[in-house]
Amino acid sequence: MHCLLLGMDAGNGAFKIFGESGGLEVVSQVALNGKQKVLSTLGLRKSKAPLSIHNEHGLFYVGAGSHDYGRPVENLDVDRFSGTPEMKALLHGSLTQYQQRYGKFSQPLSIVLGLPNEILTGDQAGQNIENIKHWLRGVHTWTADGEEYRLEIADVKAASQVTGGLFDYLLNAEGKFVPERKGAFTREVGVISIGFGTVELMVVRNREIVQRFTSGIASGVRRLLEIVNAEGLYSLGELDLQLRAGQLDIREALPIWEREVTGVIEKQWGKAWKRFAAVLVMGGGSVLLGNSLFNGRAYMTDEPVLSIARGLYKIGLSKK
C-alpha cells in the first residue's frame, strides 16, 4: 500500500508538519468550544473565530487565538502524547490546515513522529511508544468548521525530536546524505532543541547516542513566559501569541531565562562541546537566543521551527 509520508513534531508551542508539498506550523492552542455567540458591536472590529473542530471528544477551538474564544486547555505534561482529547483535537486541526494549504490527502498517511527524550527513556519507553502508535493508527473522522474530514494513518514510526534536527542537517531534500556533512556523523555532533516545553540535548558519535551527554529539561520558552507572567494574569497561549507578534516585553526576563538555558547546557556538557565536530541549535527558542550560545559557533538551521519536522520527514525518505 502506497502511503503519503509526513514528518510530525507535536511540540508544546506549535504542531509542525512537513511533507513533500512543504511545511506547516499550527500554534498549539486548544480551547473548549461552548458554542458561544461571537459579539459584534459598533466601533470595534469583529475578529475571525479560530478553527472549530468537532470529533468524538466534543467541540474545540484549535490554533492561534483559541484561548480568546473558549476555555483554555493547557496540558503540557507528556501524558498528552497518549492521546488526550486536546491532543486529538490539535492533530485533527493541524491535518485540516495542512490539507487546506496543500490539498486533500488522496492516500493513507505514514507518519514519522518526533517525541521528547522523557518518553523515549526509562523502563516504560517501549510501552509509551506502543500507546502512542495505538491511538494514532487507524481511521480518523472529524468536522472542521462544519466540513467533514476522514483519513487513515496506516503507519507510525517514532524518533526523538532532536534526532529529527540532526538528520535535517545531515540529509538533503531527497533523504540522501549531504556529502560534506556525512563525515560529521562518524565524529561527535551535539544537537540542542530549544522548544516551548523543554530544552533537549543529544550527542551522537559513530552513529550512536552518547548517553551521558543526552537529556531533556523543562526549561523551554514556557519558562520565559512564566517569568514574565509571575502574577498569572494570562494563559501561556495568550503570552505566546504576544511573543510571536513582538508585543511582549521580555527585556528583563530574557537574560534570566538565557542563564537558565546556558546553565542546563553547561551542567550536561561542560566544556566538552568544544571537541564536537558541530553543534546544531534549533527550535523556536533558538530564535530568541540568537548567536549568544557557544560564542556564535553553533550551526543555526534556516528553518529553526520546522527543522525537526523536516528532519523527521527526511528520515522517512531515507528508509524507503
Residue 87 domain-assigned (yes or no): yes
pLDDT band for 34, please (50, 70, 90 cuts): low
Residue 265 domain-assigned (yes or no): yes
Q: Which structural domain, as residue segments, surrounds residue 229? A: 4-38+49-318
Could you tell me the CATH number of the domain that includes residue 248? 3.30.420.40
**Structural domains of the chain, count:** 1
Report the phi/psi class of residue 42: left, alpha or beta, with left for phi > 0 and alpha for psi in -120 to 50. beta
Mean pLDDT of the chain: 89
Residue 27 domain-assigned (yes or no): yes
Whether the pLDDT of residue 44 is over 50: the answer is no
Residue 44 domain-assigned (yes or no): no
pLDDT, tens digit, 9 for 90 and up, residues 64-118 = 888 888 888 876 677 788 889 999 999 999 999 999 999 999 999 999 999 888 8
Which residues 6+ apart lie within 8 Å of 195 measured at CB?
11, 12, 13, 161, 220, 221, 283, 284, 285
pLDDT, tens digit, 9 for 90 and up, residues 232-269 = 999 888 899 899 999 999 999 999 999 999 999 999 99
Tell me the CA end-to-end span of the chain in Å, nearest whole number: 13
Residue 262 has what pLDDT?
Answer: 92
Q: What is the pTM of this model?
A: 0.90
How far apart are alpha carbons 296 and 290 in whole angstroms?
8
pLDDT band for 47, please (50, 70, 90 cuts): low
Residue 230 domain-assigned (yes or no): yes
Residue 43 domain-assigned (yes or no): no
Residue 76 has what pLDDT?
Answer: 63
Burial label for 17, CB within 10 Å (0-12, 13-18, 19+), is buried
